[in-house]
Amino acid sequence: MCLAIPAEVTRLLPDAMAVVTIDGVSKEISVALIEDLAVGDYVIIHVGYALTKIDPEEARRTLELLRELSVEGQGAAP
């Protein structure tokens, strides 16, 4: 199964690269597929590549749902 998740762009780097943050975790990714990207934009990332920009509110809702799933999964019986 593949999973693409939203992340906030925190720094633009040379050579079509950027640093993004996901819940406080930073990761360097390729942004070669995205035009007109700015710090503060949210993107959907998959295996180290930004696929598209996403609305900031939609990104926050998705991240909150992922947090809820994580909490529920931690309470599940083995």
Q: Has residue 60 got a pLDDT over 70?
A: yes
Q: Are 44 and 50 in contact (CB under 8 A)?
A: yes
> Going from the N-terminus, what domains does the chain have, and what CATH number goes with each?
5-74 (2.30.30.140)
Q: What is the pLDDT of residues 2-58, one digit of tens each?
A: 788 999 999 999 999 999 999 889 999 999 999 999 999 999 999 999 999 999 999
Extended strands (E) in the chain: 5-13, 17-22, 25-30, 42-46, 49-54
Question: With left for phi above 0 and alpha for psi between -120 and 50, is residue 23 left, alpha or beta?
Answer: left
Whole-prediction pTM: 0.84
**What pLDDT shows up at residue 73?**
63
Comparing 77 with 15, the larger pLDDT belongs to: 15
At a CB cut-off of 8 Å and minimum separation 6, what does 51 contact?
4, 33, 43, 44, 45
